[in-house]
């Protein structure tokens, strides 16, 4: 009997059938697994979305509680609320918290929980209206008053505030989401305590600040965008198709409302994307599996090495080899968490090189890099093996050290300042002297979040630089308060400039006899409705920092020229700052003001100080010459206070010289100042300049300066700065023609 031989194709078919069957079975199993996994993934994703939304609302409340700590741990707030100062509470609680931070309701409760102040809808309200709100907040008030008496336990944020002399007061705050007057809202209840010793007794129960922020559509949308739920909204009734929901309840169990969002379903999306190519992929994988496994083992090791190298390069400063800002962003939070886990501390120091840009500008970046390397080596030599040294900025270094106390961190900061101050030798034998400003803080005492600690370190560094640099400064809570007050003052100044509430006072410049007025100096004055009179030594530097000095200068100039029209034959002197010269066109401003007021240019004097010349001599010279071409006189104010005044007298064509008041003090005695004063007067006379002495307060000084040959005298001996109306009366008594105009 003949035997039928199997063809190669049939043999192949028999051989491939099990493989195909196995591939099909694998496809079915994988597809079923994908469907089951997709469903479970969707359920897990939904659960995580719900947890995320709940946590987002909760964390928003805790953020508000931390945000209000600056306004409630504050001695001034403690004293003003205890005194029931409604005007103060209106400004610093009602207006400030509603306008700057967006709160919809502010209430202050007295020690017996009676409403003492209310603010809602952008204005003060009857405190009794709190009763409509307070009925649903009694448990939060009780949780702050007696945390241990509330069941269940609320997450009350407690902070011990050291007042000195062994006295400590505890600050308590609690936040929750509530339904307030039919609206979902975040409510924060916080005690109001001092941050330094106060004359007001601490024995009675503290006042409470109740802050309410509506979880309106705008805020809900913002929270949703921040956490990946762009369609997040409040609903009543059934949710729209394709939306998931999460009911929110308060700590006391009351229902607040229901949030809905368009839920994403990553499981089904994944199944749809992979199902089409799954069969082909399985077949290809069956063929390539063995090759890929062998090749993959080789590549995996290389990939791990390259990833490690890339990560290290991304987190390391190329110049110094230290961690850069990216690396520090991972290390910093890790060390904070480690300090919390160990119930220990984390010392944080920020080292900022003073005027480092000048080194790069004067010597080049190669020398600047050499300085940075030398500084990094000196810092490393001062640190222990466990300390972290990083370079987060071009001229900044940061140090992190676990377990340090306040004394050791202060000693380390002092050693750092001294070590950096030592001369640095660079290539070519050049010796450079560098100083550093160091700010330091201690976690968790000064904060337990990276952003908070960095901000407070920067405040401490800024305070160290204010003293001239080359100093170490610890962060103090007063720095936060000072920043808060500066922002409040800046806001008030901006409003004053916008409302043209800056006024002008005039101080007479007398002839040598002290009986006749030759000129008046216009001086800016500001009285805020809430803060009272603010001295020019406070608001003028602030105006220069914020750029408001240009508008203030123009207001003062125009007001002075308009008032000066009434004083015939009397010159008007107006001060101009460096910012007005170098960041504006003072010539155009003066020309326009003269045209608008029709004030004679020959009666206007513009006073500048040496700081104007130091910043940019070329620009200052152009502006001065332009003023003089208008017919305006230019005076050098505070002469003698700078180091190069004689040089400027030679280079610039001033019309007038005002001698700094420091030379006038102590004229009753024969000393170095009087010798220098005589020399200045003789020099000015030789240069045919008008000589003015300011700051004259005694008859002896008047007699001495009159005998020395000064042309004009100014000071409290003759008159303090006066409003325009009072100056007119002053002129009428001494200068009838000028007063009559």
Could you write out the three-class secondary structure of 398-427? Answer: EEEEECCCHHHHHHHHHHHHHHHHCCEECC
Give me the residues paired with residue 351 across strands: 397, 438
3-state secondary structure of 256: strand
CA distance 25 to 682: 110
Tokens, residue 217: 């559509």
pLDDT tens-digit map of 242-276:
788 888 888 888 888 888 877 776 666 666 666 66
Pairing of strands 388-393, 396-402: antiparallel
CA distance 349 to 335: 14
pLDDT tens-digit map of 177-215:
988 888 888 999 999 999 888 877 777 889 999 999 988
Question: What would the DSSP string read from start to end of 485-542?
Answer: HHHHHHHHHHHHHHTT--EEEEEEEE-TTSSSEEEEEEEEEEEETTTEEE-HHHHHHH
Give me the residues paired with residue 659 across strands: 639, 693
- Grade residue 721 by pLDDT with cuts at 50, 70 and 90: very high
Q: Which of 124, 67, 116, 66 is nearest to 91 (CA)?
A: 124
CA distance 674 to 142: 71
pLDDT beyond 80 at 735:
no
Q: Which of 93, 159, 73 is nearest to 477 (CA)?
A: 73
User: 3-state SS of 632-671?
Assistant: CEEEEEEECCCCCHHHHHHHCCCCEEEECHHHCCCCCCCC
pLDDT at 43: 75
C-beta of residue 520 within 8 angstroms of C-beta of residue 724: no
pLDDT at 53: 80
Pairing of strands 346-353, 532-534: unpaired
pLDDT at 467: 78
In terms of Cβ atoms closer than 10 Å to its own Cβ (0-12, 13-18, 19+), residue 53 is buried
pLDDT tens-digit map of 404-441:
888 999 899 899 999 988 988 887 677 888 888 998 98
Tokens, residue 564: 């000066």
pLDDT tens-digit map of 266-308:
666 666 666 666 656 666 666 665 666 666 666 766 666 666 6
Supply φ then ψ for residue 631, to 5 degrees.
95, 5
Q: What is the mean pLDDT of residues 115-138?
A: 90
Mean pLDDT, all residues of the chain: 82
CA distance 578 to 627: 15
Token pair 């405190």 in the structure block, residue: 127
pLDDT at 289: 53
CA distance 18 to 544: 85
Tokens, residue 577: 């700052």
Supply φ then ψ for residue 694, to 5 degrees.
-115, 160
CA distance 361 to 722: 47
Q: Look at the chain and count its residues.
A: 741
Sign of the Cα pseudo-torsion (211, 215, 219, 223, in order): positive
pLDDT at 302: 67
Q: What is the mean pLDDT of residues 77-102?
A: 90
Of 12-21, 383-392, 479-488, where does the model show the most confidence?
A: 383-392
Looking at residue 92, the DSSP 8-state letter turns out to be I
- Grade residue 618 by pLDDT with cuts at 50, 70 and 90: confident
CB atoms within 10 A of CB 511: 15
pLDDT at 10: 47
- Grade residue 599 by pLDDT with cuts at 50, 70 and 90: very high
Looking at residue 94, the DSSP 8-state letter turns out to be I
Tokens, residue 162: 């050291």
- Grade residue 236 by pLDDT with cuts at 50, 70 and 90: confident
Q: What is the largest CA-CA distance in the chain?
A: 152
pLDDT at 1: 34
C-alpha distances in angstroms, 340 versus 171, 335, 349, 389, 451?
20, 9, 18, 20, 17
E runs forming strands in 321-366: 346-353
Ramachandran region, residue 666 (left: φ > 0; alpha: ψ -120 to 50; beta: rest): left
pLDDT at 13: 44
Between 278 and 611, name the one with better pLDDT.
611
pTM (two decimals): 0.48
Between 119 and 21, name the one with better pLDDT.
119
């Amino acid at each position: 009997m003949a035997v039928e031989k199997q063809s190669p194709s049939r043999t192949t078919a028999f051989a491939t059938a099990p493989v195909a069957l196995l591939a099909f079975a694998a496809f079915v199993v994988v597809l079923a697994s994908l469907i089951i996994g997709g469903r479970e993934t969707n359920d897990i994703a939904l659960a995580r979305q719900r947890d995320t939304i709940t946590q987002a609302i909760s964390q928003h409340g805790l953020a508000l509680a931390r945000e209000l700590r600056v306004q409630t741990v504050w001695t001034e707030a403690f004293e003003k609320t205890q005194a029931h100062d409604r005007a103060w509470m209106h400004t610093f609680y009602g207006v400030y918290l509603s306008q700057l931070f967006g709160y919809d309701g502010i209430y202050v409760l007295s020690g017996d929980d009676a409403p003492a102040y209310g603010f809602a809808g952008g204005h003060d309200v009857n405190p009794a209206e709190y009763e409509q709100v307070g009925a649903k907040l009694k448990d939060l008030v009780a949780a702050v008053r007696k945390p241990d008496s509330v069941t269940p336990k609320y997450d009350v944020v407690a902070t011990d505030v050291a007042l000195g002399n062994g006295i400590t007061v505890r600050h308590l705050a609690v936040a929750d989401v509530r339904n307030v007057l039919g609206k979902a809202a975040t409510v924060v209840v916080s005690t109001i305590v001092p941050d330094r010793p106060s004359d007001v007794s601490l024995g009675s129960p503290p006042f409470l600040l109740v802050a309410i922020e509506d979880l309106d559509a705008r805020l809900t949308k913002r929270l949703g965008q921040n956490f990946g739920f762009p369609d997040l909204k409040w609903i009543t009734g059934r949710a729209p198709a394709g939306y998931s929901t999460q009911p929110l309840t308060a700590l006391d169990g009351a229902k607040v409302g229901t949030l809905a969002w368009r839920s994403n379903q990553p499981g089904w999306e994944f199944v749809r994307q992979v199902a089409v190519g799954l069969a082909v992929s399985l077949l290809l994988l069956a063929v390539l599996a063995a090759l890929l496994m062998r090749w993959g083992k080789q590549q995996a090791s290389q990939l791990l090495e390259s990833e490690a190298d890339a990560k290290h390069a991304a987190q390391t400063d190329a110049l110094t080899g230290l961690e850069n800002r990216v690396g520090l962003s991972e290390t910093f939070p890790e060390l904070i968490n480690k300090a919390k886990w160990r119930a220990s501390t984390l010392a944080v120091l920020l080292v900022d090189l003073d005027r480092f840009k000048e080194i790069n500008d004067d010597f080049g970046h190669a020398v600047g890099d050499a300085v940075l390397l030398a500084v990094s080596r000196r810092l490393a030599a001062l640190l222990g093996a466990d300390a972290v040294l990083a370079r987060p900025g071009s001229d900044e270094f940061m140090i992190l050290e676990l377990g340090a106390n306040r004394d050791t961190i202060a000693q380390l900061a002092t050693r750092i300042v001294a070590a950096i101050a030592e001369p640095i030798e660079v290539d070519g034998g050049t010796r450079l002297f560098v100083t550093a400003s160091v700010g330091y803080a201690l976690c968790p005492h000064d904060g337990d979040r990276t952003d908070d600690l960095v901000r407070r370190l920067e405040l401490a560094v800024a305070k160290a630089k204010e003293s001239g640099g080359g100093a170490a400064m610890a962060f103090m809570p007063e720095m936060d308060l000072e920043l808060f007050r500066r922002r409040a003052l800046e806001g008030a100044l901006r409003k004053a400039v916008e409302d043209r509430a800056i006024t002008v006072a005039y101080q007479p410049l007398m002839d040598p006899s002290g009986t006749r007025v030759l000129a008046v100096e216009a001086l800016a004055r500001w009285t805020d409705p809430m803060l009272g009179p603010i001295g020019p030594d406070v608001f003028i530097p602030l105006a220069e920092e914020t750029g408001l000095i240009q508008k203030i200068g123009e207001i003062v100039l125009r007001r002075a020229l308009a008032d000066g029209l009434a004083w015939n034959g009397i010159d008007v002197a107006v001060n101009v700052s460096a910012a007005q010269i170098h960041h504006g066109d003072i010539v155009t401003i003066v020309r326009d003001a003269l045209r608008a007021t029709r004030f004679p240019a020959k009666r206007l004097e513009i006073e500048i100080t040496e700081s104007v010349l130091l910043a940019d001599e070329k620009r200052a010279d152009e502006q001065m010459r332009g003023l003089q071409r208008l017919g305006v006189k230019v005076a050098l104010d505070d002469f003698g206070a700078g180091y190069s005044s004689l040089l400027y007298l030679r280079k610039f064509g001033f019309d007038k010289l005002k001698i700094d008041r420091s030379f006038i003090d102590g004229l009753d005695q024969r000393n170095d100042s009087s010798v220098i004063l005589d020399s200045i007067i003789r020099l000015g006379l030789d240069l045919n300049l008008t000589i003015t002495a300011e700051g004259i307060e005694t008859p002896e000084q008047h007699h001495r300066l009159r005998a020395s040959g000064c042309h004009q005298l100014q000071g409290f001996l003759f008159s303090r700065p006066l409003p325009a109306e009072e100056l007119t009366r002053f002129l009428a008594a001494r200068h009838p023609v000028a007063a009559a105009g």
